[in-house]
């Protein structure tokens, strides 16, 4: 599998992806993807990042996974693409409304897997979170510069 990344700047860890392009080139790289994984934070720029226009650029038969935030994906456009066969399948770990109401049309969409917002869970989750918390507490109480600080201008 070839892994390509799309970042705001077009920069990133090249050990994690063979190619990294800036977000302004998203429409240009979508036709190359068999799988599109959405794993970005919610900001003003990323709301409905993937909608009808973006799905139409994807290969017929591609698959779409949203692991980021429900607001990143136009769910009605997704349902239409699944019903028409434009997309072969999709998986959602997040939805625009959580918990997903019983009357949501997503429940009846073909070839859609819905997970209960658990993609971040792993065997080491609590260990990693505890280690991070303890490191941050040490930095805080020593007056050192904090890591993982939210940039309010960027929104994450």
8 Å CB contact between 4 and 18 = yes
Count of residues in the chain: 156
Write down the H helix ranges in the chain.
26-29, 52-57, 75-84, 125-142
User: Which residue among 8, 48, 83, 117 is the active-site one?
Assistant: 117
Task: Give which of 31, 80, 29 is closest to 51, Cα–Cα.
Answer: 80
Active site residue 98: yes
DSSP-assigned beta bridge partners for residue 50: 73
Per DSSP, the residues of 62-102 read: EEEEE-S-GGGB-HHHHHHHHHHTSEEEEEES--SSSSPPT
User: Which residue among 98, 127, 135, 138 is the active-site one?
Assistant: 98
56 CB-contact burial (10 Å; exposed 0-12 / middle 13-18 / buried 19+): middle
User: Which residue among 54, 63, 69, 75 is the active-site one?
Assistant: 69
Active site residue 86: no
Catalytic residues: 69, 98, 117
């Amino acid at each position: 599998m070839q892994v390509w990344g799309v970042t705001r700047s077009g920069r990133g860890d090249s050990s994690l992806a063979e190619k990294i392009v800036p977000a302004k080139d998203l429409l240009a790289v979508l036709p190359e993807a068999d799988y599109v994984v959405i794993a970005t934070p919610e900001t003003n720029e990323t709301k409905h990042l993937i909608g009808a226009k973006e799905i139409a650029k994807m290969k017929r038969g591609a698959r779409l996974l949203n692991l980021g935030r429900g607001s990143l994906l136009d769910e009605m456009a997704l349902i239409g693409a699944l019903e028409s066969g434009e997309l072969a399948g999709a998986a959602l770990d997040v939805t625009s409304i959580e918990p997903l109401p019983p009357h949501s049309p997503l429940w009846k969409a073909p070839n859609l897997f819905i997970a209960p917002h658990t993609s971040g869970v792993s065997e080491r989750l609590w260990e990693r979170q505890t280690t991070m918390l303890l490191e941050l507490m040490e930095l805080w109480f020593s007056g050192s510069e904090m890591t993982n600080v939210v940039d309010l201008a960027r929104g994450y």
